[in-house]
Amino acid sequence: MEASDALIVGEDFISEHYFTTDAKSQSFQAMVLSRRKEWDDAKKDDLSTPRSRYTEQRSDLTRRFISLSENAGDDVLTALYARLRTILGFDDTVRWDTARIGASGTHEGPAITVRTRGLTSNAPLVIIEAHAGLTLENLLAKDEKTLLRSFHTEDDEIHSVAALLSHLFVSDDGPQFALVLSGGLAMVTERERWLEGRYLAVDLQLVGERAEDKRGGEIDRALSCISSESLAPDAEGDIWWAEVIAESIKHTVGVSQDLREGVRLSIEIIANDVVTRRREHGLPPLPSSEASRSQSNPYGSCTAFCSSSTQKLPRNSEYFLSGNPTMNAATASTGCVNSHLWNSPARVHAAAPIFTTHSPPCSGSSTKATTAEQTTMTTKAPPSRASRSGHCAPTFSYPKRPNSLTTPNSVTPHCSKCCDTYC
């Protein structure tokens, strides 16, 4: 599902993958479809729902949003917000107790608390009224006068939505969730997530103009975000959004585990391919001590593999037979930059270790490397591009950088006439 510009997830208020995926389970879309089914079932029983009320008033409501200006009067906005609360279902006095807070001697406060009727616990939801015509950036600014009316505390006066949210959320008896109404823009945030700068914004004007009325479409998603069924507490005082956020976190953890498993399997595939090709070339297996050491940097193997792909090395080149290339003593002693392709221990997953060999001395060098482990290939290497083209071809080395993965940015071109290595 493509992300909608009418529904803006700010700073990962909810996992973006969870919010946009079309999965039929463990996704926000699944929760929306479940909510739509509830609305459809209620409609069959001739019951009013946020969706039925919004559908009936969508055209007129959208026109009112469009006609609003930043200087819209308090009376106009107060009437509009009362209408919105009715459409969304917050005026059900049978289910909820509501109270305005932050009033002064002459003006009522700009915030309304909502709690389940009969429960004496703190109100878990607050609805805040703001000026219309504000951008999301203005609404989030702490120094802007964005509240429809000032919020009065015992010893202070608050003028901005952002400052009021911070004030309420850090209070011991503060709400868990907040709904901000700013003309045709609505914003949802949560106690802990607001302190991290996270929120969800819904552009009701844009939703109304598009009128995407299909099942699980933009209207269903927008109403699911801000309706009373989602934000107001149920009979036990619990809020739907709290469940959604918890499931989003669980979903994110599951995706991370899947990614880690994918990396592990990819490393095994790469390593097994190298093991097979070494066997084809008649090379001996790596001792168990070296296999254990190969666990130290499995991600380096993947990075080296990706780096090699950018250089278009063939699968049967020495690169893949030797693992992650690093410069070594043999390179310095022979003067052949390709000799390091044979000398570094490969670092891959222990379930499929690859092995270390050493190249024969470079024929183009006056100094020959001698090591006890030196092994001569019995299979003739394919002709190099240099020998085919008649001129020297550049090869590449990947110098090892301590405590970091080797990346393609560290590639340095070299010239070698003597080594049968593809570039």
pLDDT in tens, 95-109: 999 999 999 888 899
Confidence of residue 256 (pLDDT cuts 50, 70, 90): low
Most confident of 203-207, 246-250, 348-352: 203-207
Of all residues in the chain, the percent with pLDDT exceeding 90 is 52
Residues 245-265, buried b or exposed e (16+ Cβ, 10 A)? bebbeebbeeeeeeeeeeeee
What is the reported pTM? 0.64
Q: Where are the alpha helices (DSSP H) in 297-339?
A: 298-310, 318-322, 329-334
Confidence of residue 361 (pLDDT cuts 50, 70, 90): very low
pLDDT of residue 163: 97
Quote the CA–CA distance of 414 and 407 in Å, as a whole number: 17
Q: What is the DSSP letter of 354?
A: -
Task: Considering only residues 28 and 270, tell me which one the structure prediction assigns the higher pLDDT.
Answer: 28
Quote the CA–CA distance of 368 and 370 in Å, as a whole number: 6
Write out pLDDT tens, residues 35-91. 999 999 999 999 999 999 999 999 999 999 999 977 788 999 999 999 999 999 999
CB 324 within 8 A of CB 346: yes
pLDDT of residue 414: 41
Confidence of residue 275 (pLDDT cuts 50, 70, 90): confident
Q: How far is CA 63 from the centre of its chain?
A: 35
Most confident of 16-20, 257-261, 280-284: 16-20
Helices (H) and strands (E) in the chain, counts: 16, 11
Mean pLDDT score of the chain: 76
Write out pLDDT tens, residues 169-228. 999 999 999 999 999 999 999 999 999 999 999 999 999 999 999 999 999 999 999 999
Asked if pLDDT for residue 330 goes beyond 50, the answer is no
CA-CA-CA-CA torsion sign (219, 221, 225, 230): positive
pLDDT of residue 270: 79
Write out pLDDT tens, residues 384-414. 433 333 444 333 333 433 433 333 443 334 4
Confidence of residue 314 (pLDDT cuts 50, 70, 90): very low
Confidence of residue 292 (pLDDT cuts 50, 70, 90): low
- E-strand spans in 136-272? 151-152, 157-158, 177-182, 185-190, 199-203
Task: Considering only residues 243 and 327, tell me which one the structure prediction assigns the higher pLDDT.
Answer: 243
Tokens of 195: 């302190």
Most confident of 237-246, 300-309, 355-364: 237-246
Asked if pLDDT for residue 249 goes beyond 80, the answer is yes
pLDDT of residue 343: 38
- E-strand spans in 132-232? 151-152, 157-158, 177-182, 185-190, 199-203
Quote the CA–CA distance of 272 and 353 in Å, as a whole number: 7
Q: Smallest Cα–Cα separation from 10: which of 255, 231, 189?
A: 189
Q: Smallest Cα–Cα separation from 86: which of 128, 42, 124, 48?
A: 48
Cα 343 to Cα 330, 355, 422: the distances in Å are 8, 10, 17
